[in-house]
Amino acid sequence: MRASMILFLCLPITAGAQTAPSAAEIAAYDGLHAAAQSGDVSTIRALLTKGAAPDARDPAGRTPAHVAAFASHDAALRALAAAGADMNALEDDRYDVLTIAAVADDPEMVSLALELGNRPDLITSVYDGTALIAAAHLGHHDVVRRLIAGGAPLDHVNNLGWTALIEAVILGDGGPDHVQTVRYLVEAGADVTIPDRDGVTPLQHAKSRQYQKMVDIIAAAVN
């Protein structure tokens, strides 16, 4: 068995390592964190006007912007950003707003985060990945499309030795969502020749899994 496959079998789901606020944490929130969780824009603005710190941290290192992202409150995120909240802040698990939205398959928040200055090339998670790698892993193809349009790096290699394209193949199920993800990446110019640490290319991975639609897309780019 290849070393990369052994590593894969020993890993948790890489993009699923985010930890949203628990019920107990939410119950303990006050101030901006509570307002962000509930999407209460009026209270957010009032608290900020009174001098509340837009980048205050909860015990897990989440800012109100992180909380708004987990709760999918676009207007709350916009209000926080308007007051100077750091859109590129990382919480304790090293996730930013953009990657939180990407994993949640929240395309509108992904676009909003990019609009508000969240960098698409930010290195996130313990795997030194990106929002694009996380979205590709999960087959969130609309998110992938928006991240590509927003300038996300196509060929970043995380500390597992995997690109977004490799993750879409080896961590995907070969179904239509992951096929469309592969199509968007390849059409955008992702380098289909970058192999994993064992020298196995995305095309070879797709062939070994008998993901014929992926094989066709990637092979056309190789040729």
DSSP 86-114: -TT---TTS--HHHHHHHTT-HHHHHHHH
Q: Give per-residue pLDDT as tens, 150-176.
A: 999 999 999 999 999 999 999 999 999
Nearest one of 177, 178, 170 to 206, comparing CA atoms: 170
More confident residue, 12 or 145: 145
The mean pLDDT of 182-187, rounded to a whole number, is 98
Cα–Cα dist 83/208, whole Å: 51
Say if residues 36 and 76 touch (Cβ distance below 8 Å): yes
Phi-psi category of residue 161: left, alpha or beta, with phi > 0 → left and psi -120 to 50 → alpha: left
pLDDT band at 18 (very low <50, low <70, confident <90, very high): confident
Cα–Cα dist 35/44, whole Å: 6
Q: Which domains does the chain have, with CATH numbers?
A: 3-15+23-222 (1.25.40.20)
pLDDT of 12 > 60? The answer is: no
Q: Give per-residue pLDDT as tens, 65-116.
A: 999 999 999 999 999 999 999 999 999 999 999 999 999 999 999 999 999 9
Phi and psi angles of residue 177, each rounded to the nearest 5 degrees, phi first: -65, -45
User: In the prediction, which pLDDT does 17 show?
Assistant: 67
User: In the prediction, which pLDDT does 168 show?
Assistant: 98
